[in-house]
Amino acid sequence: MSGIVLIGYMGCGKSTVAKLLARRCGKKLLDADREIEKEQGRTISDIFSSLGEEAFRNMETEYLRKIAAMEEDVILSTGGGMPLRKENAELMKNIGKVIYLKTGEDVIFDRVEKDTSRPLLQDADRKKKIHNMLCVRGPIYEAAAEVIIRTDDKTPEEIADYICRIGGEKWN
């Protein structure tokens, strides 16, 4: 498959960059969190509060299995926790090139500071929570990724341009 799978922590720009890539590459755009919300008829926050994180992670895995079975190349924006399961990391590689949008803690904090829709950031000390989660997730993202792009000083357009350049003709 010559699709593209964007991974990274919440607020790193996966959804924004995915939209740009889909337009530039002429591929179907899939946003895992939005698709799961549509399938379930409720928000991710509602799923977390009513069914729990484990149930949501199971939904993510099922969603990835469905996408991996498709014959179509897609641009997939994942949820921040999707790569945490080994099975998911393998499924993502079956979908396409896995690209980690690596973003620094301060940049992420600035982007998500006032966002109340993120179920894993309901703690009073969001900055500490982001730090702790990145310490755990960062190495997992790096292990799952085939390409790592540092995004702190880049616009979404610059990131999309770079991805198109490294992908060459198969992504255009």
pLDDT digits (tens, 9 = 90+) for 89-139: 999 999 999 999 999 988 888 877 655 555 455 566 778 888 888 999 999
pLDDT digits (tens, 9 = 90+) for 63-80: 999 999 998 899 999 999
Q: What is the pLDDT of residue 10?
A: 85
Tokens representing 94?
């079956």
- Residue 116's CATH number: 3.40.50.300
User: 21 is in which domain, residue-wise?
Assistant: 3-171
Q: Is the pLDDT of residue 83 over 80?
A: yes
Distances (CA, A) of 143 to 77, 90, 133, 155: 18, 11, 16, 25
Percent of the chain with pLDDT strictly greater than 90: 68
Count how many domains the chain has: 1
| Mean pLDDT, the chain, integer | 89
**Closest C-alpha to 79, from 23, 138, 8, 140:** 8
**CB-based contact 63:88 (threshold 8 Å):** no
